[in-house]
């Protein structure tokens, strides 16, 4: 009797096998028969997922210590997850991005959206930043780095293992160079006519947020000749795009001095430094202070971090989004524009829109909702997984 290629894990009789067959990529701990054998599997082990009748459904990566015990890698239960398999997934992802962008600055891999569960890769020209946020990928980081170089030709691969998702997988925080050499200083990134400075070794997440690119572009069109306020600006995401699009002036507000310094460098590189100013401080306090100072802007953008990163934080998160809208709305000139963003996947579009609209109303303002934006097409959404479509951007005319 030949030994099976992979161990098997099995769904409980009441688990939703149909959803998995129809493309749902995650198998939760309460859906599986977690016997002693399954619990003893090492994090990152590959296993065949079976339904209650022991029919194979596909090949999954297993982590018994995570709430997401199984992540679907391949519908073929006999698939070989080797470098060639990874290269094929990377090549498909690269083909999509090269059709979209003329320069190699984009999200190359968006986890489940690109059929590489838990894997995020952002590309900055000749440098790729890898986030292996699932145990199977972390165990194969060297293989992924080799595949990245082979498919894209990048010389440097940086592993940024500092995300919240890694903690949920039981993985340690780590930041290291897997291939090549660490960049000497920030990397200039051209986007929407501006130049951003990305700190790949010390900045937030992978160094820059590519997801807001289309929303930056819309804001730039709205801001021609305008005085703009960019709150939670990070390295100047919205403000630099609006200045490049013809805004008269921009004030960037953030709590991080290093992020604002990178924004200043970006403004200088973009040739808009004389129209750009920064203000370090807590966003809520700064919005209130600006109102007391009688400041008014033609365009105000608020792009905060995730206030509701999980279901447990949903209610306080929605209250925070409402408060941001209430504080920001009075700063918008009559007929001006207010952009409110959320990157909280736990806060769905309807709930976020209701909280934002409620905040605007509590500020005594009325607004037309003129546009609802999402992440760019280099962040493909897997329809069966809401988490891949986390970003929402609401643009109001007040």
194, 212 contact by CB (below 8 A): no
Exactly one of 229, 267, 331, 343 is catalytic; name it. 343
Per-residue model confidence as pLDDT tens digits over 141-190: 999 999 999 999 999 999 999 988 898 899 999 999 999 999 999 999 99
CATH code reported for the domain at 208-397: 3.40.50.150
Percent of the chain clearing pLDDT 70 (strictly above): 98
The mean pLDDT of 253-271, rounded to a whole number, is 97
Closest CA to 352 of 311, 326, 322: 322
Query: Which regions of the chain carry the CATH code 3.30.750.80?
Result: 83-179
Query: Which regions of the chain carry the CATH code 3.40.50.150?
Result: 208-397
301, 274 contact by CB (below 8 A): no
Per-residue model confidence as pLDDT tens digits over 97-145: 999 999 999 999 999 999 999 999 999 999 999 999 999 999 999 999 9
Topology, domain 8-74:
2.30.130
Instruction: Check whether 259 has a pLDDT greater than 80.
Output: yes
Closest CA to 71 of 144, 133, 18: 133
> What count of other Cβ atoms lies within 10 Å of the Cβ of residue 6?
18
Per-residue model confidence as pLDDT tens digits over 198-218: 999 986 667 899 999 999 999
Query: Which regions of the chain carry the CATH code 2.30.130.10?
Result: 8-74
In a 3-state reduction of DSSP, which class is residue 376?
Answer: coil
Mean residue pLDDT across the chain: 95
pLDDT value of position 204:
64
pLDDT value of position 205:
66
The mean pLDDT of 358-382, rounded to a whole number, is 97
Q: What share of residues in the chain are helix, strand, coil (percent, to 5)? A: 35, 30, 35
pLDDT value of position 203:
63
Residue 55 CB-density burial (10 A; 0-12 exposed, 13-18 middle, 19+ buried): exposed
Non-local CB neighbours of 57 within 8 Å, separated by 6+ positions: 11, 17, 20, 21, 48, 49, 50, 51, 75, 77
pLDDT value of position 163:
87
Residue 185 CB-density burial (10 A; 0-12 exposed, 13-18 middle, 19+ buried): exposed
In a 3-state reduction of DSSP, which class is residue 26?
Answer: strand
More confident residue, 386 or 154: 154
150, 113 contact by CB (below 8 A): no
Is residue 343 part of the annotated active site? The answer reads yes
C-alpha 43/C-alpha 41 separation (Å) is 6
Instruction: Check whether 2 has a pLDDT greater than 50.
Output: no
Instruction: Check whether 1 has a pLDDT greater than 50.
Output: no
Topology, domain 83-179:
Transcription Regulator spoIIAA (3.30.750)
Q: How many residues does the chain have?
A: 398
| DSSP 8-state secondary structure symbol assigned to residue 42 | P
């Amino acid at each position: 009797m030949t030994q099976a290629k992979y161990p098997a894990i099995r769904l409980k009789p009441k688990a939703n096998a149909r959803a998995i067959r129809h493309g749902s990529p995650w198998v939760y701990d309460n859906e599986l028969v977690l016997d002693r054998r399954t619990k003893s599997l090492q994090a990152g082990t590959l296993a065949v997922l079976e339904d209650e009748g022991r029919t194979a459904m596909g090949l999954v990566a297993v982590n018994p210590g995570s709430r997401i015990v199984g992540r679907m890698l391949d519908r073929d239960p006999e698939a070989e997850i080797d470098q060639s398999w990874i290269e094929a997934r990377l090549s498909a992802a690269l083909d999509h991005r090269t059709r979209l962008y003329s320069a190699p600055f984009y999200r190359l891999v968006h986890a489940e959206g690109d059929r590489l569960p838990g894997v995020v890769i952002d590309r900055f020209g000749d440098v790729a930043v890898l986030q292996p946020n699932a145990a199977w990928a972390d165990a194969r980081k060297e293989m992924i780095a080799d595949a990245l170089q082979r498919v894209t030709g990048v010389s440097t691969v940086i592993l940024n293992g500092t995300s919240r998702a890694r903690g949920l997988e039981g993985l340690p925080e780590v930041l290291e160079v897997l291939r090549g050499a660490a960049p000497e200083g920030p990397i200039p990134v051209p986007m929407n006519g501006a130049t951003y400075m990305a700190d790949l070794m010390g900045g937030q997440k992978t160094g820059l947020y590519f997801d807001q690119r289309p929303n930056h572009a819309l804001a730039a069109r709205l801001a021609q000749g305008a005085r703009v306020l960019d709150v939670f600006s990070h390295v100047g995401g919205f403000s630099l795009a609006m200045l490049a699009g013809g805004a008269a002036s921009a004030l960037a507000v953030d709590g991080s001095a290093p992020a604002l310094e990178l924004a200043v460098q970006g403004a200088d590189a973009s040739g808009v430094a004389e129209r750009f100013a920064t203000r370090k401080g807590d966003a809520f306090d700064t919005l209130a202070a600006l109102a007391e100072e009688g400041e008014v802007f033609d365009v105000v953008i608020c792009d905060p971090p995730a206030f509701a990163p999980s279901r447990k934080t949903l209610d306080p998160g929605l209250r925070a989004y409402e408060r941001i809208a209430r504080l920001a709305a009075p700063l918008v000139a009559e007929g001006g524009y207010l952009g409110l963003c959320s990157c909280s996947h736990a806060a769905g579009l309807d709930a976020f829109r209701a909280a934002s609209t409620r905040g605007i109303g509590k500020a005594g303002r009325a607004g037309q909702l003129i546009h609802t934006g999402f992440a760019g097409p280099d962040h493909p959404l897997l329809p069966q997984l809401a988490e891949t479509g986390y970003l929402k951007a609401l643009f109001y005319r007040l």
